[in-house]
Amino acid sequence: MRTRTLATLIGAVAALSIPAVVPASAADTPVLTTGSAGGTAVAVGDVLTAPLASGTNATLYSSATGTSGVTCSSSTFTASVTDNPAAPGTATESVSGQSFDSSSCTSNVLGVTGVTSITVDNLPYTTTVTSDGALSVTPASGSTIQTTVKLKTLLGSITCVYQAPSLTGTASNDDSSIAFTNQEFTKTSGSSLCFSSGFFSAKYAPVTDNGATVYVN
């Protein structure tokens, strides 16, 4: 009886002295994965792409509450992953492209008859995505986020240039989307037909890595 009691005590002490082992998959889950939350890690250097979410438009309106401005039903962004640390954390991407199909764009601004082009300038931008879905877009040091809008008017073509110091948005695993709502741009050049401020809204989904859906952890 005494031997059994001593052995039991030694076993209990030994068990208490062994640290708990955390599964490697749980400890090493990065901020960005594909397939599912907690799925396969997105590799640094991978290129992420996304179109506008089905049935939505990208808009640049003259006010946060108005509907006067430019609307596009086709737009795509492209970004390469530059850092994807363990979650919780902040992943970093370099936005190398954001295109708008001018044939899908219309304008209801008085005197404007069409949209020639929308160009995102001063690329690349840096995008950060945190584990809680907060997204931020910033330009290179000394630069600015800039969009050039060329419009057809009754008096000929005009060019409107809009700038913003940064943009903020949200990333959601519900539909693997990133969304921007009423991000304010200020007109830096252009005719009086160019509205003085532009409020940009868009939802891109799904975000994919070589066809695989991307999730935030």
142-154, pLDDT tens digit by residue?
A: 999 999 999 999 8
For residue 93, the enclosing domain spans 2-216
Q: Provide the number of structural domains found in the chain.
A: 1
CA distances from 146 to 137, 163, 187 (A): 12, 4, 10
For tokens 């970004």, the residue is 79
pLDDT at 169 over 60: yes
Could you tell me which residue, 215 or 21, shows the higher pLDDT?
A: 215
Q: What pLDDT is recorded for position 28?
A: 85
Q: How far is 110 from 17, CA to CA, in rounded Å? A: 77
Q: In DSSP terms, which residues pair with 158 in a beta bridge?
A: 151
Instruction: Please enumerate in sequence order all residues whose Cβ is within 8 A of that of 180, keeping only pairs 6 or more positions apart, or say none.
Output: 167, 168, 169, 200, 201, 202, 203
Q: Is the dihedral of CA 62, 71, 168, 175 positive or negative?
A: positive
Residues in the chain: 217
Q: 5 pLDDT exceeds 80? A: no
Burial of residue 138 (CB within 10 Å: 0-12, 13-18, 19+) is: middle
Question: Shortest CA distance to 198 belongs to which of 127, 110, 136, 109?
Answer: 109
Element (H, E) at 27: helix 24-27
What pLDDT does residue 155 have?
87
pLDDT of residue 21: 36
Average pLDDT over residues 182-188: 98
The model's confidence at residue 196, banded by pLDDT at 50, 70 and 90, is very high
In the predicted model, is pLDDT for residue 124 greater than 90?
yes
pLDDT value of position 18: 36
State residue 11's pLDDT score: 40
Residue 68: what residue type? S
Mean pLDDT of the chain: 90
Confidence of residue 27 (pLDDT cuts 50, 70, 90): low
pTM of the model as a whole: 0.86
Mean pLDDT, range 71-96, rounded to an integer: 98
Cα pseudo-dihedral 85, 86, 89, 93, rounded to 10: 30
